[in-house]
Structures are given as structure tokens and as C-alpha cells.
Chain A
């Protein structure tokens, strides 16, 4: 990888190393399952091996005979729990289905028992000796399976409207050139390195939970509601989260079970679910199907866009992503139509996974645009330039800023795109066919209310406190930088505390909102601190010392309440109650503009002429996302996103046995992601962009930007190399060597 740190351009902060880097690489950073508790008991889950039916018999005899077994929770003895609301309905739950609610089985891998013992080994052995008899019914596993239920999303969730503009059907009928094709993306699993762990510890009626979470306030609210206790009696702590990508965003079934067991045993209980159990207890990226029609005139002007999407879901909860509204906003489509459908099967509930809506939808759109360019015999970059737009045509609202074509120009120049021979199969190195492809990356710029507390001491040190989360992105560092910058002190003098419900509530770490939202709250709090001290921005240390002496204070502490203008709520009150309030993108309220970050990615693939392995020797991405708080951590995020994108293009795919709707490659040897040897040169270009409209921090989220479009860029490059168009991810040897 050629650049450890990218060039710093205008409107960018300091390129400093992460303030938690040393703790992480030395093992000093404590993750949820590292948190010490006194004399914990250990839990091990038992999960169902059928997808549909009911439990007709449990035999616990052998399991109970294992020395050290303390408790076996099943649907027969689970203490009562109150209902949980799904996050689509404003709650915290990944599902409304209570854990161990009864004998019914709704999906394969459903938790059917939890064994608690003195040791992990005893709990595991007992779990293996626990036997279950089922009355099995044939499940519907996926699209096309017998027994699935197809629903129009707008019929189930009336607030989810399909984007529509003009008469797309008529526009397509009268177009000179029409591209019409179907695309598919598979089930994927987040597989964060840190497993799904929960430790629960009661002290009297107060419960402490150590669990990796992307929203500690939401987890607290949901869990307290389930247990029927006041949220103030529950504390959720996670100093560090070892990767999440969406899988730790909601309250899952396991947490209440661990809390119940700890209460019943009067002893802390610790659960670390196994890697394979993680595949069914904490969600996945939903499988999708698309039919995309794009019309164009001979000179390349788009005439109409018709994008139908099918999203696979479980039966228990109406989780949907949509995303076509973002695709429709991308180019100057004069007419748009779309129908979103969900298909209900006997599967565990899906959940957001890094660019949940955008990754599948933009794969389809950006593949289709490339196919249309081939039909028009046009350069695919020029086709996008012709159809660039300064406003979302569907809503009519202008973009707050949009640097899509500057990104294309920067990435294309760095990549050497002008040397491309457009003829498929024309570029070659020995036995390797070379293909070059490109695609657009995009992600809505969203924000959430956030509350931060900042304390400035007379000695020039500061403390930032906010229950936001560093899921591995560098949030600790950029929050310290924002405080340092606003208070005019060195970043090394700022300490940051996060991931604890004793702190003021930060936003959910979802929708790429953390930097923009938390930094905006920190900036507000810092400005209030300066105001209390009567200090101008950029005040010197001497001025600060004088101000403290004048007020006879040792420290000043302020709480910044940030509520974005686009937000539907007018206060941060909901945040304290654990409710999510994300706004932005195409649907910002209160007259806000259309807000997106953009990028352009160029990929070279090599495909072996005989054995058809696909390798990616280089990828270049240029991104514009408003103020870049820290080019170094931004570079890491964007580079990681592109690598993730390569994985989505070539590797990631959860295999499902259709007969039992059961995941088959539920381990990291067979659920493939790129390894170091797959990743060669990754170049990140930060295109300077100033956008003062998006939020006080002027920052657009980049956590989910760079893995959008990568799969299409790879697919487009594979077509250029081989003349074969693969419309179903992942693109594997099978698909290229057959036929």
C-alpha cells in the first residue's frame, strides 16, 4: 500500500496518530469480555438446528450431570420479560421476538437454551450434551423458495415511499437506447473481529452490562424496558468496540438472557458467543435482487430510470433498507420509478451492515451505467459527467455540495485511465487479462442530535465526555482534535471518555454520523466554555490563565446540546431515552438541502486466461466529504472501505443450505474476506471540499462511503478484462469458467 498518510489538502485537520493506538497494539485496551468481574459464571448458547417448526422435547439430563453446571435457561423456565420494540418502530430490538419465548422456531440458529456453569468448558460440554426433539416443517430459505411471502414495502410501511418522478415508463419506451438487466447481492455477515460478548453484573437492583454496542443508550433503554426496571438502574459500558459494521447496533436476544441468569444466580455471568453462533444471533446483510432499466439518448443523456428492488427478510419483523431514493438522486434522471418489495422467508432477522441500503443498490446502478456506456460506445466517466446534476431531481432540492466529477478527475488522473483501451479483452500481461473499471461511491450525509460535556482546566488540559462509540474508526482521536482546535490547546492535552451510559448521550454509531454529530456537540460545548471564560477563539495560554484567575475558577465545564436543523426533534431529550434520530441525505427535514458525500473508484483486475482467478493489483479512490477532521484516520477508513468493497465483489457470501435454511460457511476459514495477500496497492485521494451547510463541524460521514460502488467497479473491470458481465455477487471463478 503506497501511502501511509495521504496528502493534506485544504479544509483538513491535523494528521495525527490515534490517541488510543498504543493501548490497542499493546493489549492494554479493554474490550467487553476483558472487563474484570468477580467470580463470573460462564454461559454457552444452544441454538436450533431447524429453521421452522417447534420444539417437542428437551432432554437436559446429560447436560445437568456435567459437573459445574448451574443453570439451564429454556422456554420452559425463562423468567418473564416485557416486550421489545423493533428499531424500525423506534425501539432498540433487532427483533420483537422475545428470547426463549416458546417452543416455536422461526429461523435456524435461533437461541433455544443458555447453559451457565462455573467454567466455560463445563458450559460448552453441557450445551453439547443437551438434546432437543423437533417437529420440523420445511422452511423457505431464500428468493424463489416455496413458501416465501412477497410484499410491497409501501403496503407494509406506508412511510417508506418509492421515489417517483414523471413518467419513467413512457420515457423508457421512447428512449433511443435502453439497458435492462437483473442484479443480485448475497447474504453477508459482518464478522467483526470481536465476538458477540455480554457480561452482566448486578449490585442490588443495579445492573452493569459490558457489551460491545454501537448505541449504549439504546441498548440500556431496550434492556431496561425488557427487564421492567428504570433505565437509570442499568449501566452499559464499552470503552472499545472491536469492529461492529452494524452488527452491534441493536439489542439482540442474548443480552436479557445473560442479565436474567446473573440475577437468578446472584453472580456475574459472562457470555462470549462462538463465531458460528454469531452468524445467527446478531443479524446479517439482507440478500437483494434488482431489475434496473435505464434509458438514454444517443448522445448519452439519461431519459429514465426504473429500479425495482427485492429485499429478503425474516418473518418476524418488517426490516427494510430501500436505497433506490439515493440512486435516483445520483444523476440527472428526468424520470424515475421504483417498486420496493420485501420477501419474507424463514430466516433470522437481517440488520444494517456497512452501507446497508447503498452497497446493493449502487452495485446495481453503477453496473447498469457501465453497461449502458458500452451500449453507447461512450467512456463511462464521460457518461457520468454528461448526467451530473446539482440537485436531486426527484425532490428538486439542491445538493449542499457535490464534488463527484472532481473526484472522478482526480482518481482517473492518478489511475492513468486515459491509457485504457475500451475494447474488452484487449489489455493483457502474459497469461493475465487486464481489466480497468470505475464506479461512483456515494453515501448520504446524516447527522444525529448529540450531547457532549467538556471540562477545561486552568492548566490547559481538557476532558471530553460523550457516550459515543469508537468502533475502530478513530473517534477518540477526532473528538480530541475538535476540542483541541476549538479550545486552542494541543491535542495531547485532551482526554476523551466514550462508550458509557454514565456520560451524556452520543449518537448511535450508525449512518456514518459519529464524527459530524459528536464533533458538532463537542464544538458547541467548547464554545460555551470559551464564552464562560470570556475568551475569543484562538486565545493564547496566557489569556486563558488570566481568564481563570479573574473568575477565581480551577475548571469550567459545559454541556453542548447539538440538535441539527434537519432533525425532526427539536431537543436532545429523545437521545437520553435511547431513541435514534438520524436525518440528512435525500430526506432531510426543515428545508435542508440534499446532503451526500461522493467518491470515484478505479480498479484494475487481472483474470488468468486459463484458471480465471481474479486479482486486484491496484485500486484508486478519490473522495470528497467536507471537512476532513484527521486525514490519517480518514485515510484508514476509506482504505478499509475499499478493501471491504473488494471483499464484497470477490469474496463475501454466506452459503445457505436451502433444505434447512442453515448457514454453512459460518467460520472465518470458509466465509472469505480478503487477506493481506489479496490487497496490493490502495491509493486514497482526499479531494478538498468545503460545506458549511451540513453541520457545525462541516464534516460528512465517511465510515460507509468507500465500500459503496467498489463491487461495481470490480464487476466493470472484470467485464473489461473478459467480456463477461457478472451481475451476481460475489464474482467467483465458477461464474467465469463455466459457459
Chain B
């Protein structure tokens, strides 16, 4: 860990102004996020600083920002609004969210541990960085940590790396669960920058690794995520998050599926599918959705959709199993959602 300056912000605008005014930081730290970072729960950032992977020169603690909309969880006829500083636990435990948007609550409940869920904020959670062991260990080449150095994971121990959305430069997986639910439910994200607030589809927040795996989001320097909005829709109540892993809790997904269904009898009126686990970025399976829409939700139709969802998968030596596993996870999630009893 390298020394850094540490300040508090008590309102969002001041935080953004402080971040914009901060010097760029030492050149030798640029690749390690050398400038300024917002700090909320710190469950990723502090961890990576201890590993010497991230070396910010300045941290701005945003947890003292009192603005209610930064903390609120509100359900209206239009949809669900969640402030970026709500903790994972608060959203997971929210009765309205559990009733009307179960996939959201479940994706958070099945993530991390209770202690981490108490600390981590949903705004920071979507920016959680990869668990790729080659990224987290500074002794290896890594195009995400040290651009141009190479990708050690490509021919290494890559059981945990992605098969969807990867590039020749990076096969790191995006580890989060809640982003998978946001993808499925067409969420948008609110961002505060120097020019005020803007909203963008959540699907446009993360960038595919391509040739620049070190640039992970479309956020401009100093921009702050202030909240999320999920539009109300007929499919949100028949929704669930299925997470498959080696142990029952406190593990990242080997495969996961966030599904939401609007059924007319057995026929799919609308379906939304987010995929987690072996994905480079939060993933939406639109091909699978298209195959299912207007058709009866049968096992064979679900299986065909699952095959389509992984049609573009590129396995490496140790992660090929995540293709059949991801497919089976999606089939299981769809069939489970079909028969789930809706909360009243």
C-alpha cells in the first residue's frame, strides 16, 4: 500500500468538485488508478491497495454525504430507485424489493458475506474489479493492471476467467452479482459530473475489454454514481437470481442467471436474461430472449435459448466447463421462474 491523502465529502457536488480539482497523481501510478478515487464501503479498493494493485494518490470518502436520494430505496409506479450509498444489505432486505423485484434482492443476498454486505454500497459494487488472480498478483503480466504487459491468464490457471465478451488482451471475468440483475431489468444509472447529472443505460456503463482492458467503464474522470433506476414492468415480479458455485456461500459465481418472465399461460410474453460468472462484463443474453419470446417455455425451448446465449463463447484450457454449466444454469433458472410462486 502506498501513502495517500484522505478527505471526506459531505455532499455529492463537493465530492465531484474535489475530485475534478485533484491533481492527476504521480505518473508512475497512472496505470494503477493513480489519481483520485471515491471511497465508500472500500471492500474492493482497500483490498487492492493492500495488494499494491491499486495505488491511488487521493481518496475521497463519500459515506458522509447525507443527501437522502443517495441512500433511499423507493418504489413508485414508474419503478425502483436505489441510491448509490445504500448498502447491499439494505437493498437485499427491503420488503418491497423482495416482493416486486426479487431478482434484485436475491442477487445481493447471494453475494459476498454478511459482513461485506453490511459495508459495501451498491454504487461501488457495480464497479467491483475482477478477481482474476493474475490481476491481483503484481508479479504477473496483466493488460488490465499494466497495459501492454500481456495476459498471463490466457494460458494460466483460468478456471475463473470468462468465456463471453473476452478479447485477445484480457479474459478476466466481471465478478459481481447485482450488476447481472441490473442488466436483466433494463436499469439505468445516474451519474454526477462537472456538468451536472446524466443518466445512462446500465448496459452502457461497462466497456468490453477489447484492446483497452484497463478502461473498464464509460465514466469520465471524477464522475460519481449517485443512483440506479429500474423501470417497472410486468416481468419484474416473476424474477429470480440463480447462482451456482462450489460452496453454498461466500464465493463468486461459477455461473449465474438473472431471469425475469412475463408469462401468458406457458407462453413467454416477455423475458429478460442477465448472465454472470464467465462474463467479461455484466451480460445481457438478448439472443436467448428473442428465441423465447412468443414461444411456450418448455425445457427444449429453454435449452435452445441457453445454447444461443453461449454461442459466442470462447473457452480456454480450464474454463470450458463453464459453457455447459452456464447453459444448465440458465435452463434451470428459466424453469424455476416459470413455476415460482409470486409473493403477495
* Chain A interfacial positions (CB closer than 8 Å to B): 49, 121, 124-125, 128, 431, 608, 610-613, 615, 650-651, 655-657, 659-660, 662, 664-665, 669-670, 672, 674-678, 732-734, 737-738
Contacts and interface: CB of A to CB of B under 8 A. Distances in A.
B247 A678 contact: yes
A121 B244 contact: no
Interface in B111-153: 131, 133-134, 137, 139, 152
10 contacts: A125-B2, A611-B329, A613-B245, A657-B156, A664-B157, A672-B247, A675-B247, A676-B249, A732-B246, A738-B321
A733 B321 contact: yes
Given A611-B244, A664-B157, A675-B250, A738 B320 contact: yes
A669 B324 contact: no
B138 to A, nearest CB: 8
Given A125-B1, A664-B133, A734-B321, A655 B159 contact: yes
B329 A678 contact: no
A675 B332 contact: no
Nearest to B325: A737
B249 A611 contact: no
Contact of B325 (A660, A674, A733): A733
Contacts of A660: 139
A187 to B, nearest CB: 12
Most A C-beta atoms less than 10 A away, residue of B134, B152, B331: B152
A49 B249 CA distance: 32
Interface in B227-254: 244-252, 254
Secondary structure at the A interface, as helix, strand, loop or mixed, is: loop
B328 interface: yes
Interface in B317-334: 318, 320-321, 324-325, 328-329, 331-332
A271 to B, nearest CB: 17
B287 interface: no
Nearest to A667: B136
B329 A672 contact: no
Most A C-beta atoms less than 10 A away, residue of B137, B248, B331, B332: B248
B2 A128 contact: yes
Interface in B38-64: 50, 52
Nearest to A655: B157
Interface residues of B, number: 36
Contact of B248 (A608, A611, A669, A678): A678
Nearest to B244: A611
A662 B139 contact: yes
A615 B134 CA distance: 30
B25 to A, nearest CB: 16
Contacts of B184: none
A3 B159 CA distance: 38
Contacts of A676: 249
B297 interface: no
B19 to A, nearest CB: 24
B312 interface: no
B259 interface: no
Nearest to B326: A611
A121 B324 CA distance: 46
B244 A733 contact: yes
B245 A675 contact: no
A664 B318 CA distance: 14
B92 interface: no
A664 B156 contact: yes
Interface string B294-330: 0000000000000000000000001011001100110
Given A610-B328, A734-B159, A734-B318, 7 more contacts: A124-B50, A608-B332, A610-B329, A651-B247, A659-B155, A675-B248, A737-B324
A121 B50 CA distance: 10
Interface of B: 1-3, 50, 52, 131, 133-134, 137, 139, 152, 155-157, 159-160, 244-252, 254-255, 318, 320-321, 324-325, 328-329, 331-332
A669 B131 contact: yes
Contacts of B3: 125
A655 B157 CA distance: 7
Contacts of A610: 328-329, 331-332
A737 B139 CA distance: 33
Nearest to B249: A677
Contacts of A662: 137, 139
A154 B134 CA distance: 40
Contacts of A657: 152, 156-157
Nearest to B155: A659
A431 B339 CA distance: 14
Contacts of B134: 664
Nearest to A653: B246
A611 B1 contact: no
Nearest to A121: B1
Contacts of B245: 613
* Nearest 7 A/B pairs, CB to CB: A49-B139, A677-B248, A677-B249, A610-B328, A734-B321, A664-B133, A128-B52
Contacts of B244: 611, 613, 733
Nearest to A673: B247
A723 B252 CA distance: 28
A674 B251 CA distance: 11
A49 to B, nearest CB: 4
A732 B332 CA distance: 19
Nearest to B2: A125
A669 B133 CA distance: 11
Contacts of A659: 155-156
B157 A656 contact: yes
Contacts of A124: 1, 50
A121 B46 CA distance: 13
Contacts of B251: 669, 672
Nearest to A679: B248
A336 B283 CA distance: 57
Contacts of B325: 611-612, 733, 737
A431 B336 CA distance: 11
Nearest to A274: B50
A169 to B, nearest CB: 38
Contact of A674 (B2, B247, B331, B332): B247
Given A125-B3, A677-B249, A670 B321 contact: no
Contacts of A734: 159, 318, 321
A292 B245 CA distance: 32
Contacts of A121: 1
Nearest to A647: B247
A734 B251 CA distance: 16
Contacts of A125: 1-3
Contacts of A738: 320-321, 324
A676 B159 CA distance: 24
Contacts of B246: 613, 650-651, 672, 732-733
B247 to A, nearest CB: 5
B95 to A, nearest CB: 23
A588 B155 CA distance: 50
Nearest to B242: A611
B321 A737 contact: yes
B225 to A, nearest CB: 24
A613 B139 CA distance: 33
Contact of A128 (B1, B152, B156, B318): B1
A333 to B, nearest CB: 36
B248 A670 contact: no
A733 B133 CA distance: 20
